[in-house]
Amino acid sequence: MSVKEVVLIKVNGEDKPGVTAKITSILAKYNVSILDIGQAEIHDNLSLGILAEIPSSIESAPALKDVLFCGYEMGMAVSFTPVSTENYNHWVSAQGKPRHIITLLARKLTAEHLSRVTRIVADYELNIDNISRLSGRVALEDEASNEFSKACVEFSVRGTVDQGALRAEFLTVSSELGVDIAMQQDSPFRRNRRLVAFDMDSTLIEAEVIDELAKEAGVGDEVIAITESAMRGEIDFNESFIRRVALLKGLDESVLEAVAQRLPITEGAERLVSTLKKLGYKTAILSGGFQYFGRFLQKKLGIDYVHANELEIVDGKVTGNVTGTIVNGERKAFLLQEIADSESISLQQTIAVGDGANDLPMLSKAGLGIAFRAKPLVRENAEQAISTLGLDGVLYLLGIRDRDDVHG
């Protein structure tokens, strides 16, 4: 009794319309089954692979000969590799292994970046199933001169791994090479996020508002001293916040407007929020800063929710007090959960982005926590980190390509 043949057909050459159609139409004449297919195009060069099962009722030679001749007519190189039953069954059995997405981000990618990442992947005995460029094409002259250039490559890998150990290695390489390397489990939640919560100071804006207000009030040095004391662990966030706000007593309300108008929006923030809104995401600011500035950004960027500290103002002057519950780290995590519940969104479908230790509770609670241009302690404790690109680098972690851009 004749046995079905499994053959890997590889087609390479200049990309042109109709290559796949012509090859598969020939295989169709011989009632060939397609077990797997993949196609990639790099710089107008096509690489097509078809894993074909040829029926036992026919000889493979005529079918393969016709494919070879078709390739010749199109100026394409065609090769065939027989696949044994044992080899095929081994390939099928591997499909149940866990999958992960590794995202490499930099201003410009080099061979060393790719070499270091792929060497670590190989050391952990992970198989790379697919490599894709998510960033757009860049002209050589632009790449050399644009300080805001972006480069991103995504790897789909398969295998069981100690994620903590692998992330630690990636963090070390990131620091050495000045790149970002993110790793996520490939799951339906990754492709179905619905809520993104942002810290405000040093995340959505490139400033610490309380420091800007302190300068205007002439108490900049005193506020810095309290901040440093808190960072040394001598006082907690709530106490440090209350003491810093007290120093703002007597500041004229008009100063708040002036400071708000000059706040520098973080690179990529407007593109990120605009894209998220067009894709149907809900967005929130969860900040240990002030509601006045949160509302200013809400109006400017189109944010859905804002929760921050309410600076008390009486007769046009700052009293040095805040009203309501102080928004500290634990409060941010609580508010993330509250907003998700109100929108009927699972926590696995949430993203939190922040830079400070005060953000770690919400970064840990969210389905995807991203430390953005964060302090070393925060980067080490967050699941993911972006330090080299702007805030719109978050889109790459969602698998969104530059060519998919819906901004504008």
> How much is the average pLDDT of 170-188?
93
Q: 171 is written with which tokens?
A: 């963090």
Domain ranges of the chain: 5-92, 97-185, 195-404
Question: How big is the chain, counted in residues?
Answer: 408
Its CATH class, for the domain covering 195-404, is: alpha beta
The predicted-structure confidence for 228-248, as pLDDT tens digits, reads as follows 887 676 888 899 999 999 999
pLDDT of 1 strictly over 50? no
Q: pLDDT band at residue 145, thresholds of 50, 70 and 90?
A: low
Its CATH class, for the domain covering 97-185, is: alpha beta
Is there a contact between 284 and 306 (Cβ–Cβ < 8 Å)?
yes
Among the listed ranges 119-123, 169-173, 228-232, which one has the minimum average pLDDT value? 228-232
pLDDT of 408 strictly over 80? no
How high does pLDDT run on average in the chain? Answer: 92
Is there a contact between 116 and 173 (Cβ–Cβ < 8 Å)?
yes
Which pLDDT score, from 0 to 100, does residue 133 have? 94
How many helices and strands in the chain, by DSSP H and E? 16, 15
pLDDT of 104 strictly over 60? yes
pLDDT of 205 strictly over 60? yes
Burial of 230 (0-12, 13-18, 19+ CB in 10 A): buried
- Token pair 């804002």 is found at 306
Q: Please check whether the two domains, 97-185 and 195-404, share a CATH topology.
A: no
List of E strands, 84-188: 99-106, 127-133, 151-158, 180-185
The predicted-structure confidence for 281-326, as pLDDT tens digits, reads as follows 999 999 999 999 999 999 999 999 999 999 999 999 999 999 999 9
pLDDT of 142 strictly over 80? no
Task: Tell me the C-alpha distance between 397 and 225, whole Å.
Answer: 37
Tell me: domain 5-92, CATH 3.30.70.260, correct?
Answer: yes
Proportion of the chain above pLDDT 90, given as a percent: 82
Candidates 74, 120, 107, 83; CA nearest to 9 is: 83
Active site residues: 199, 201
What residues have CB less than 8 Å from 107, skipping those under 6 apart? 147, 149, 150, 151, 388, 389
pLDDT of 361 strictly over 50? yes
Residue type (1 letter), 202: S
- The 10 Å CB-count burial string (b at 16+, else e) for 98-116 is ebbbbbbbbeebeeebeeb
- HSE-up of 282 (CA within 13 Å, CB side)? 18
